[in-house]
A and B are shown apart, each in its own frame.
Chain A
Amino acid sequence: MTMNDSEDYLIGENMTGGYGGPDIIHECTIGARSGEITVIVGPNGSGKSTAMRAILGMLDMREGSVRLDGEDITGLKPQERVARGMSLVPQTGNVFTSMTVEENLEMGAFIRQDDIADTMEQVFDLFPVLKEKRRQIAGELSGGQRQQVAVGRALMTRPKVLMLDEPTAGVSPIVMTELFERILYIAGDGIAVVMVEQNARQALAIADRGYVLVGGRNRYTDTGPALMMNTDVRRAFLGG
């Protein structure tokens, strides 16, 4: 498969930088297309989350650029990128624990001035359990339900790019399968999904494109299934 960057809706190119200290990622390139799922995998500390945060403008980038829909957004603050249709589900602290499910979704749509009722209905269609628990405090929900609130909150801006930082961390295998199913569904709606995952095997299985990062650098890039077939990748990262 050829990686034609000009077709990417979102691309972070040759990104080098860190959180003020030493560089964590080096000349790292991550791209994503609308309606597709991009998965970033790699060993612990390989800069997966950092690369994703760089795309949202959450760290000091010394080199490289980020383009969204052909436009250079390297100089924009994270909030400005959110306003342009990028949405992030952080790994931890991704819900307002003292607020109800409904209020979480409302806050997700804070930048919108129009009616959010339809979008909320769509989120409830995607995660029916949230409709049932809409008046419950998010902090009192189970781990899986909290992840659903977190994803739902991020969808409330009607983003064009949805970024997920280890969405299945700490949830049961059944919940994980279900969550991946929903994410496929979200991508099916034309959203570019970028996902950092520990559960590399399951994530690559649904990935249109996979990036394997090692030491903050791109090591392998291919379609998800192709990466799973690649013997080097299998031996090094997928446990044989």
Chain B
Amino acid sequence: MDGILNALVLLSNFVIVPAMAYGSQLALGALAVTLIYAILRFSDFAQGDTMAFGAMATILFTWVLQYWDVSISPLPTALLALPFGVLCTVALCLLIDRWVYRFYRRVKAKPEVLMIVSVGVMFVYNSVVRFIIGPGDRWFVDGQRFIITAPAFKRLSGLDEGVAFKTTQGLTILTAVIVVAALFWFLNRTRTGKSMRAYSDNEDLALLSGIDPERVVRTTWIIAAALATIAGVLYGLDKSFKPFTYFNLLLPIFASAIVGGLGNPLGAIAGGFTIAFSEIALTYAYRKFLAYLTPGEWAPQGLVQLLSTDYKFAVSFVILVLVLLLRPTGIFGRRSP
């Protein structure tokens, strides 16, 4: 019996808890991608770097707050800086929309053209972030590190294995739940939210109903920028902030959005967790886990690891390809990508 419990705790510590946190981060990023796709009808490749910009802005404000000795310990100071980071990113997205994307909307550019334009925007964001904060790793988490540490868990439960639950993981999951609930409330209950859904559903009829497309587009950028910043900051708190890592996040985020069906917000959340659990579960070494479940002499010799962690992006990529081949509209999708 203890063996099974220990195995479960082990799995929670190394797979379930980290995947829940990572899944929440991906879900928030994928929601932003999916909203932009639903309203502006293109795949925004600058998403990863928008997250990086948002995280960078938040880090700068965090440093200012830390310098002034403002603290909300045990919570990380970055949470206090987050609203300012969101404001900066919203301003950036609205400016870029006005300077860049609006022109392509006016000339009724095809989605592919807009997508390539977003690649250009991505390079610009990329450089701006590196120019301001540099390409290196930055840690900006402070406050209490753990909600519960592994030794404390062991003491409490009397088991050999412990679950360490980091503050950042708890914060990530909690924030994601609140943000997603607020977003769905907004989309389903408010006039502006409904007008966004109407515009996404049927652009011509939305125009005939007097819905102002430019207002819908602006609202979308504001929400997408806020989502990107929150996702970026949570990811940075949980791991660390490095511009290149955020660029790399583009693949799992797009995989999440596409697995759930581009343009479908619920799908983006399901997709985020699907990708996160697959990446972590397939790259975890199960030797110790199996050892707890089998009699001593059966314990495996090798690591029982399907893939090295270096290949975790391959997991998202394979899932992405499989979904596109077998079910191109995503697991819940109506709209084809």
Contacts and interface: CB of A to CB of B under 8 A. Distances in A.
B157 to A, nearest CB: 47
Contacts of A93: 202, 204-205
B202 A110 contact: no
B197 A95 contact: no
A157 B206 CA distance: 13
**Interface-central residue, B194, B201, B211, by most chain A CB under 10 Å:** B201
A129 interface: no
Contacts of B212: 79
Interface string A87-105: 1101001111111000100
B207 interface: yes
Nearest to A80: B210
B197 A98 contact: yes
Contacts of A83: 210
B209 A94 contact: no
Contact of A79 (B191, B198, B207): B207
A153 B209 CA distance: 8
B186 to A, nearest CB: 14
A98 B210 contact: no
A157 B205 contact: no
Contacts of A103: 194, 197-198
A99 B206 CA distance: 12
Interface residues of B, number: 17
B204 A110 contact: no
B62 interface: no
Nearest to A103: B194
Nearest to A87: B208
A55 B191 CA distance: 29
Q: Report, as a range, how many residues of chain A touch the other chain.
A: 20 to 34
Contacts of B194: 99, 103, 106-107
Contact of B197 (A87, A88, A99): A99
B105 interface: no
Interface string B133-171: 000000000000000000000000000000000000000
A110 B205 contact: no
Contacts of A108: 209
B260 to A, nearest CB: 15
**Interface-central residue, B195, B198, B211, B212, by most chain A CB under 10 Å:** B198
B334 interface: yes
A82 B334 contact: no
Contact of B206 (A88, A97, A107): A107
B169 to A, nearest CB: 35
Contacts of A111: 209-210
Nearest to B188: A103
B201 A97 contact: yes
Interface string B178-220: 0000000000000100110110011011111111100000000
A82 B208 contact: yes
Contacts of A79: 207-208, 210, 212
Nearest to B335: A98
A82 B206 CA distance: 12
A97 B197 CA distance: 10
A108 B211 CA distance: 9
A94 B211 contact: no
8 contacts: A82-B208, A83-B210, A96-B206, A98-B201, A98-B334, A99-B201, A103-B198, A110-B210
Given A99-B198, A106-B191, 6 more contacts: A79-B212, A90-B205, A96-B197, A96-B205, A96-B206, A111-B209
Interface of A: 78-79, 82-83, 87-88, 90, 93-99, 103, 106-108, 110-111, 153, 157
Interface of B: 191, 194-195, 197-198, 201-202, 204-212, 334
Q: Please give me the 5 A-B residue pairs with the lowest Cβ-Cβ distance, nearest first.
A: A111-B210, A96-B201, A107-B198, A98-B201, A110-B209
